[in-house]
Structures are given as C-alpha cells and as structure tokens.
Amino acid sequence: MGAPEPVLSVRDLTVTFPTPHGPVRAVDGLGFDVRRGETLGIVGESGSGKSVTSLAVMGLHTGASVSGSISLGGRELTGLPERELNRLRGRKMAMIFQDPLSSLHPYYTVGEQIAEHHRVHFGSGRKAARERAVEALAEVGIPDPRRRAREYPHQFSGGMRQRVMIAMALVCEPDLLLADEPTTALDVTVQAQILELIARVQEERGLAVIMITHDLGVVARVAHEVLVMYGGRAVERADVDTLFAVPAHPYTRGLLDSLPRLDDSDDEPLRAIPGSPPSLLAPAPGCAFAPRCPRLADAPAQERARCETELPLLDGPAGLPQVLDSSPKLSASFEQGGPPCTGGTPMVACHFPAYEGVAP
Amino acid sequence: MTFTEPLLSVVDLTMTFPGRRRSAPVRAVDGVTFHVAAGETLGLVGESGCGKSTTGRMIVRLLEPTAGSVTYDGRDISHLSQRELKPLRQDLQMVFQDPHSSLNPRQTVARIISDPLLVQGGSAADARKRVAELMELVGLIPEHIDRYPHEFSGGQAQRIGIARALATGPRLVVADEPVSALDVSVQAQIVNLMDRLQRELGLAYLFIAHDLSVVKRVCDRVAVMYLGRIVEIGPKERVYAAPAHPYTRALLSAVPLPDPAAERARERITLHGDLPSPAAPPPGCAFHPRCPKAQEVCRTGTPALRRMEPGAARQVACHFPEAA
C-alpha cells in the first residue's frame, strides 16, 4: 500500500526556551506525519510538550528557538519569514484552542471576525466575506446564523463559541487543522457534539487533523494514529488500535492502567503511576520516565544503569507481528473495520519495550 | 436493613442568588434532598452550572441556604451563626479543586495544616507533631514540613489540602472536584489515597465531580444533577448499569471510552443544544428541550423525584423513566 504524501511532515523538531534558570528544552527531537483525512492524536500530561509542538507548527513561538524541519504540503516552514507565514496561517493551516472565549475578540461580532479571515486571505469584498461567514456558521451547526453573526462572543455559550472557532478556522478551507484541547473546557455532552462536528467536517473536506489532548478517551474516539509524549519527547507512536490494545512503552501502559473506566467492573485500587512528571529544567541523561518506571524497578542493576544513562530512541521494535497474531482483542478490532495504519510500524522509545497488553 | 440515622440529611435544599442589577435571581439549587450515611461516599455529578458545588458549599455552610435544611448528626445546621458553627467545623471539612489556589502561598505546610488545629484551640507544639503525622498519613515526606506550596507538584499540593481537611479528625469531607485539576497519572494516586483514608478513618465523602468514570470508582451511591435538581439518585451499580433518566443515559454515553474498538461499536445518544441558563430554566421538566423522549406533559409538569418502585433504593425525576 503506497501511503499518500503527508500534509504535514515534522522531523527532529526541537523547541528550547531561554529561562532565568537556564534553557528548557520543551520539545526534543520530535517527528511525525499527518495525512489527508487522518487524525493524529498527541497525548501527554501537562509539560509534556504537546502544546509547544502545535505552536511550533503554527510558527507562533516568539521567544523560543525552534530547530528541525516542519514541512506543510512540501513547503518548509522553519526559517520562513513572518510575512510568508502570515499567508499560510489561517489559509493552509488553522488552529483552535482550549478556551474559545479568550481566543475571540470581545469587541467585534463573530461575523466580522470570521469575515476578516476571508478578506485577508482571499481579498474578498466586505459583503462577500460576510456572506461566507454566515455560511460558515451554518456549516458548524449554529442555528439562525444570519442573526448570530451579528452577535458578540459573550452572547454565545461555551460550546457555541467553540463552533465559532471551528467556523473561523475552516472558512479559508485549510488543509490542516490543529486542535489543542478543543473540548477540555466543555461539558461532556457538549464535548460529544464538538467531536462529532470535527469528525464530520474532516470527512467532508478530507482535512488532516492534529488533536492534542490529555484525555485518552477522546483519542480513542477520534484518532487514527497516536503519538504519546513524555518530558518533551515522543515515547510511543502507533495506530490507535495497536496503541490501546498492546501499548509497548511502560508510560503508555501505566496511563491506560491508571484510568478509572466506565466499562470496568472491579473495585480494586487504581494502578497509579508513582511519582510525578519530570521537570524539564534538569533533564536526566537517560530515559525521562526512568524514575517512575515499573519495569526499571524490577530490572537488574546493569539494565537499570542503561535506562538512567542512555537516551532511548524512537524505533520500530521487533516482535510486534507475533503480538498482533496472538492478541484476539486487537485482531477483533481490525476486523471491525479499524483504521488502517498508514503511519508505518508502531514505534517506541524504550530500552525494554514489551507488548503485554493492558490489564483486563 | 436496620434503620440508622444518616450522618448528613439534606432536605429541600434551595439556594437563590440575587440577580445583579436588573437581571433575574438565579436559583442555583432547587429543592435538593439526599442523605449520606457514616463511612459512605455519595457522588454528586453533573455539568457546569448544575448546582453541585453550591450544594457542597451549603453543606459545609460556606453558604447559607435560602430554603430547606441541612441536618448533620441529628442537628439542623442550616442557619447556625459562625460562632455556633465553629465546633462543628472539626467534623465537616472540605477539599477543593485547585490545590495551588486553595493553599496560601505565603504560609509553610506546617502553618497551613496546623491552622485548623490552632483555630480549634490546640497548642502549637502539639500541632506541629500532628502535622508531621498527617503528612505521613497522606504520603508526604514529613521533612518537607517547612516548605512552601510552590515547592510541591499539583498532586503533592492536593495531598496537603487533604491533610489540612483531615487535621481536626472530621467525619464528613466534602470534596469538590478533588482530582480534576490533576494529570491523569497523578489522579489515580489521589483517588487511591482518598479510598485508603476512608477505610482507615471511617470517613464519609460527598464527592463532587463532573467525571463519571472517577465517580464510579470512588462512590457507593451517586446523584445526578441537572439545572439545580437531582434527576436520578441511587446505588452506583444500578445507576451506571441501567440509567433510568434520559439525561443520565446521555451523560454516560457521552463519556469517551479509552478503547477504540468499543468507541466504534458504541451507540451514542448525542444531546442537542446547550445547558439552559439557571436564571431562566425551561418550564416543566428542565431537561425537556434536550430530551429525546419529551412529550407534552414534560413541557408543563415538573416531575418529582420518585422511587422507581416501592421500596427501591433508586429514585428518578422523570415522567417516562427507563425500566430498571
């Protein structure tokens, strides 16, 4: 199967912030691809570098140094002058944020704000752009769009505001949508509506989507491929079915094990990951997860030393095909029409990956 | 089952906030009734604006209810004065959502945790010893007693908040979204800690949360609120396995499951529209504009919270509840 050209291709992305306590490498050597019609889920906890990654793709870092390669539709974005980036932002790639209220301008009607995008990027007239804004509002399911276009952001509810943000992001028909925790501030019933909306426009337009979230449930619902981040680095990358059925990295495994689940019946204590996420100020020379790693804790001293001193690389590990054959849950989910993995073999950054499956 | 006096009874509890200037008053909580037995956990779930936090604040009397009563250990505390409340504060404590904003940044951990003890008349020397014990109890290192809140991570800060709540040996702890500000990997630690403390100390919890998966893990019984009212309450197993109120059903089906295959196979009920404003609740059943089962009677008559069948533990406020 020849995979189509990716819409976005990121290689060896590194973002470093200067701070009074020394440079902080918030993202370190990250690489991924996103294709048309596909959703890449980026999961991680606070400080794992997932939002920094999305801002780097949009070229929105001002105080940080960004290195590596970000290529959008074959065009290299790193090092591009601001003027050029301005032509791409909102046109070829667009972003929606966690808090729609603080991302909308309180002094302008939502119609004006959406129309502005169209006028800037297409040079369209005031009237035509307004018309396009009303259509965009209708498309994202806002009732009575002509009237609502004349209203201000504070007159909308949280869910409706996020629809406005989506309308604004899509009005210039971008190829790539970055959604940074788009439903975290919303109630669960409204979250379901917004996720459905994003899925619908993605299908209609063949949009490539990057969904950044801390919620593994959201990832399971929308993503085709998943990138798990920890301490600024990718620790695991796999198609969604493989990742959830046979997570290879002990951190991914730990996250899945520690979740309380609706579909769980037992009342045993949750299998919590001890400790807390690492500080990026003084990164350990080895694996960032080593201090919390259960596999490390059980390992002989020599192996332990390796995890503590040697940085594990994101590699396609051996032994996955056998696991695929032996995991009834995973093969069942593929038979159900799970998304084909176009992102290549699952990869993990661990010295001792293991496909043990999640606890039942 | 022998009848025992519940530790906490809330009857027809109502809170009306006056509207600002010309806007209408907001009835944030409207006739809420439930009880919590000693050593039990009741989960209070619902979306933002449903009145769950206001309910919790009335129970610990950070707010005075406008109507109805809060009875703690057989005594009506709904209108006690601050002075009369003071001895009761030993028994009734609260844990807040954001651990950092609920800890004074200019006080050391020793001061923060010992404050409730000193207020209740303990001596400083005893208090310091007790703080070290409490820190150990909640999984903090007692040597960190003289550190400041900013030196702790979110999960550790929440442990400080829990230690402070436990300082006076309470019997009921109202926990308002105690894990929702925490990272997933740390959430589980705090949930386990609260579980263990409940077993060791015989605490009763009112656990307020919007995350239904967390509530399922920690609670014995669960109450679902919508626009200031309880729409369903009952033993957790029943409510989660066979939700009777259409809102509970929709809420449960909206929770994303961390399992891609189950997500694809799942039939979801997507609610349309947003939560109405509590300042202008819809007439009749407040849920009717979003309810897939709404009929004429739902637009006019407010359904009362009724037992599913005589003697049943579960109550639901719906004209057309799902069969249990």
* One domain, residues B274 and B284: yes
pLDDT-derived band at A336 (thresholds 50, 70, 90) equals very low
Domain that holds residue B289: 6-91+170-316
The residues, any chain, with a CB within 8 Å of residue A2's CB and separated by 6 or more, are: none
B53 and B128 part of one domain: no
Task: List the single range of A1-5, B66-70, B232-236 with lowest mean pLDDT.
Answer: A1-5
What does the pLDDT look like over B152-201, one tens digit per residue? 988 999 999 999 999 999 999 999 999 988 888 889 999 999 999 999 99
Whether residues B190 and B308 fall in one domain: yes
Indicate if B271 and B159 belong to the same structural domain: no
B218 and B297 together in one domain:
yes
| Residue A313 pLDDT grade (very low, low, confident, very high; cuts 50, 70, 90) | confident
Q: Judge if B180 and B261 occupy the same domain.
A: yes
Q: What is the DSSP letter of B14?
A: E
**pLDDT of A217 higher than 70:** yes
Q: Considering only CB atoms, which chain B residues are within 8 Å of A359?
A: none
List, for residues A169-215, the tens digit of each pLDDT value: 999 999 999 999 999 888 888 899 999 999 999 999 999 999 999 99
Residue A337 has pLDDT above 50, yes or no: no
**Cα torsion for A124, A125, A127, A130, to the nearest 10°?**
40
Of residues B236, B190, B181, B245, the one with CA closest to residue B212 = B236
Pair (B217, B302) in one structural domain = yes
Question: Average pLDDT, stretch B27-32?
Answer: 94
> Confidence class of residue B92 from pLDDT cuts 50, 70 and 90?
very high
With cut-offs at 50, 70 and 90, classify the pLDDT of residue A320: low
User: What type of residue sits at position B253?
Assistant: S
Which stretch of DSSP H or E encloses residue B76? Answer: strand B75-76
Average pLDDT over residues A270-288: 85
Taking the C-alpha atoms of residue A351 and residue A315, their distance in angstroms, rounded to an integer, is 10
Q: Which has the minimum average pLDDT: A314-323, B98-107, B241-250?
A: A314-323
Residues of B with CB under 8 A from a CB of A: 47-48, 153-156, 183-189, 191-192, 195-196, 210, 212-214, 216-217, 240, 250-252, 254-265, 268, 270-272, 274-275
Record: contact B256-A221, CB cut-off 8 A: yes
> Cα separation of B39 and A1, whole Å?
59
- Cα(A308)–Cα(A342) distance, integer angstroms: 33
Query: What is the number of domains present in chain B?
Result: 2
Q: How far apart are CA A55 and CA B123, in angstroms?
A: 53
Of B237, B253, B255, residue with least CA distance to B314: B237
The phi-psi region of residue A107 (left if phi > 0; otherwise alpha if psi is between -120 and 50; otherwise beta) is alpha
* Residue A240: band (very low, low, confident or very high) from pLDDT cuts 50, 70, 90: very high
Nearest CB to A244 within list B48, B196, B258: B258
Q: Do both B289 and B177 map to the same domain?
A: yes
Helix (H, G, I), strand (E, B) or coil at B184: helix
Chain B contact present for A77, CB below 8 A: no
CB atoms B272 and A259 under 8 Å: no
For residue A329, what pLDDT band results from cuts at 50, 70 and 90?
Answer: low
Task: Answer whether A216 sits within 8 Å of B195, measured CB to CB.
Answer: no
Is residue A116 predicted with pLDDT exceeding 90? yes
pLDDT at B310: 81
Tens digit of each residue's pLDDT (9 = 90 or more) over A47-75: 899 999 999 999 999 889 999 999 999 99
Q: What's residue A325's pLDDT?
A: 54
Residue B144 to chain A, least CA–CA distance (Å)? 16
**What is the reported pLDDT for B1?**
43
**Domain check: are B279 and B136 in the same one?**
no
With vertex at residue A314, the alpha carbon angle to CA A234 and CA A66, rounded to the nearest 5 degrees, is 50
Q: What is the Cβ-side half-sphere exposure of residue B228, based on CA atoms within 13 angstroms?
A: 22
Considering chain A, what is the average pLDDT of its residues?
A: 87
- Measured from the Cβ of residue B227, the count of other Cβ atoms closer than 10 Å reads 24
Domain boundary among B168, B188, B223: B168
> What is the average pLDDT across A10-29?
92
- In the prediction, which pLDDT does A65 show? 93
Task: Answer whether A271 sits within 8 Å of B188, measured CB to CB.
Answer: yes
Q: State the CATH number of the domain containing residue B31.
A: 3.40.50.300
- DSSP label at residue B319: S
Decide if B140 is inside a domain: yes
Check pLDDT > 80 for residue B146.
yes
| pLDDT tens by residue, B33-68 | 999 999 999 999 998 889 999 999 999 999 999 999
pLDDT of residue A328: 54
| Of the ranges A260-264, A276-280, A332-336, B304-308, the best mean pLDDT one | B304-308
Check B258 against A261: CB less than 8 A apart.
yes
SS3 per-residue string spanning chain A: CCCCCCCEEEEEEEEEECCCCCCEEEEEEEEEEECCCCEEEEECCCCCCHHHHHHHHHCCCCCCEEEEEEEECCEECCCCCHHHHHHHECCCEEEECCCHHHHCCCCCCHHHHHHHHHHHHHCCCHHHHHHHHHHHHHHCCCCCHHHHCCCCHHHCCHHHHHHHHHHHHHCCCCCEEEEECCCCCCCHHHHHHHHHHHHHHHHHHCCEEEEEECCHHHHHHHCCEEEEEECCEEEEEEEHHHHHHCCCCHHHHHHHHHCCCCCCCCCCCCCCCCCCCCCCCCCCCCCCCHHHCHHHHHCCHHHHHHHHHCCCCCECCCCHHHHHHHCHHHHHHHHCCCCCCCCCCCEECCCCCCCCCCCC
- pLDDT score of A54: 94
| B113: confidence class by pLDDT, cuts 50, 70, 90 | very high
Q: How much is the pLDDT for A295?
A: 86
* Residue B10 placed within a domain: yes
pLDDT at residue A1 in the model: 43
Side chain identity at residue B2, one-letter code: T
- So where are chain A's domains? 1-92+174-262+272-360, 103-170
pLDDT band at A327 (very low <50, low <70, confident <90, very high): low
CA distances from A96 to A58, A166, A195 (A): 11, 7, 13
- pLDDT at position B280: 85
Q: Tell me whether residue A20 is exposed, middle or buried, using C-beta atoms within 10 angstroms of its C-beta: 0 to 12, 13 to 18, 19 or more.
A: exposed
Q: Helices marked H in chain B — which ranges? A: 52-59, 82-85, 109-119, 124-137, 154-166, 184-201, 212-218, 236-241, 246-254, 260-265, 296-300
Does A329 touch chain B if contact means CB atoms closer than 8 Å? yes
B217 to A256: CB separation less than 8 angstroms, yes or no: no
B180 shares a domain with B125:
no
pLDDT at A331 over 70: no
Say if the Cβ atoms of B188 and A191 lie within 8 Å.
Answer: no
Residues of A in contact with B216 (CB under 8 A): 260, 262, 264
Q: Which two tokens stand for residue B318?
A: 């719906």
Q: What is the mean pLDDT of residues B227-233?
A: 95
| Whole-number pLDDT of residue A356 | 64
pLDDT reported for residue A3: 61
What is the pLDDT averaged over residues A135-156? 94
Within 8 A of B153 by CB-CB distance, chain A residues are: 276-277
Q: Are residues B291 and B152 in the same domain?
A: no
pLDDT tops 50 at residue B255: yes
Q: Kind and range of the H or E element at B31?
A: strand B26-36
> Chain B: residue nearest A255 by CA?
B185
User: What percentage of chain A exceeds 90 in pLDDT?
Assistant: 61
Is residue B308 within 8 Å of residue B320, measured between CB atoms?
no
The strand pair at B67-72 and B8-17 is best described as antiparallel
B143 and B110 within one domain: yes
Check residue A342 and give its pLDDT: 44
Is residue B33 packed enough to be buried (19+ CB in 10 Å), middle (13-18) or exposed (0-12)? middle
Residue B60 lies in a domain: yes
Residue B315 near residue B307, CB atoms below 8 Å? yes
Q: Is residue B184 part of a domain?
A: yes
Three-state secondary structure call for residue B30: strand
Name the minimum distance, in Å, from the CA of A82 to any CA of chain B: 35
Q: Which residues of B touch A264 (CB under 8 A)?
A: 216-217
Q: Residue A237 pLDDT > 70, yes or no?
A: yes
**What superfamily does domain A1-92+174-262+272-360 belong to in CATH?**
P-loop containing nucleotide triphosphate hydrolases (3.40.50.300)
The predicted model gives B131-147 an average pLDDT of 94
Q: For a pLDDT cut of 70, what percent of chain B falls above it?
A: 98
Q: Would the pTM of this model clear 0.90, i.e. be above it?
A: no
Q: How far apart are CA B132 and CA B128, in angstroms?
A: 6
